[in-house]
A and B are shown apart, each in its own frame.
Chain A
Amino acid sequence: MRMLALICLMLATPVFAQGSGPTPALANRQLPDPAQEAAATKLMHSLRCIQCQGQSIADSDAHMASTMRAEVRQQIAAGQKPEAIRGWMIARYGEWVSFEPDMKGAGLLLWLTPLLVLIAGIWLARGLFRRSA
């Protein structure tokens, strides 16, 4: 009996933990202009969902992701530039919300590390090639 109650609880929680509210109109409806929709979709793939954390808002079915997709489409439709919308999101949730870290501070190190490793590798390999020549 207790087991049954536990199973019921496990099944029930996700259903009730969603709340009830309309999904924003633009969350799952494409913009009429294909170029605008392409820009919006590209941006959505590089913004992180606040609720599910590991997924982009384009990939996530969470309610917060729906709201964020609708916001992106609304702002794109209003003529806003994608990078300005990214800035709008960052102004609310910090750098965390963007999958493309800014080219400054720790983000700069992130961008430059592959280049630095490559240079170090070439420098290390240089000696080997010289010897074999």
Chain B
Amino acid sequence: MNRPWLLWIPLAVVAFIGGLAMYGLAVPKDEQVHSAMIGQKLPAFSLPAATAGVEGLASGDMAEGKPRLLNIFASWCLPCKAEAPYLEALKKAGIEIDAIAIRDRPEDVAAFLSEFGNPFRRIGSDSEMAVQLKLGSSGVPETYVIGGDGTILYQHIGDIRAEHVPMLIEKVNAAK
């Protein structure tokens, strides 16, 4: 063997693969699918009212100059119930919140609102999840910060907890 260093190559390859495996174990995996729509305008859509007494939601309704939150929720979704008090707190802080109800029935949405309160200005009904797909949203609940011109500025995946409230208020105010 005139090139003994060649013998080390297989070991180096195995060590590299082993190192990757260790890295994969050590670094927590991000299971969330983030929207790639951040920084872009809201896709054009127009959704009918999700329940009687609250107007439906069109993309144009969120481009009227005032930054706001867009909450993606469903009456059948447990974490959506958990985040209801924090949406109420956001509303009390003077933030306008629009919503899209995913795969929901009017009577279920009505029951949800009467039990947990209604922090929403408008609620569109996305029964086939078509608008959710256009938004790059991967589940419920999700909350988007929408700029006054209808630009998607931020996506919060999962339920809003107490610690997220100041951050969301700051992001909406920063968009003014």
- For this complex, into which size category does the number of interface residues on chain A fall? 20 to 34
- For this complex, into which size category does the number of interface residues on chain B fall? 20 to 34
Inter-subunit contact B36/A92 (CB<8 Å): yes
Inter-subunit contact B135/A92 (CB<8 Å): yes
Given contacts A16-B76, A18-B76, A50-B33, contact A67 B138 (CB under 8 A): no
Please tell me if A111 contacts chain B, counting CB pairs below 8 Å: no
- Alpha-carbon separation in the docked complex, A67 to B128 (Å): 7
Question: Per-residue 0/1 for B1-24: is the Cβ within 8 Å of any A Cβ (1 yes, 0 no)?
Answer: 001001001000000000000000
Inter-subunit contact A93/B127 (CB<8 Å): no
**Which residues on A sit within 8 Å (CB–CB) of B128?**
21-24, 67, 70
Extra inter-chain contacts (14) besides given A17-B77, A19-B76, CB under 8 Å: A18-B76, A19-B103, A24-B128, A53-B31, A53-B33, A63-B129, A67-B128, A67-B132, A68-B133, A71-B130, A71-B133, A91-B136, A93-B33, A94-B33
Q: Which residues of B contact A (CB under 8 A)?
A: 3, 6, 9, 31, 33-37, 74-78, 102-105, 108, 127-130, 132-136, 138-139
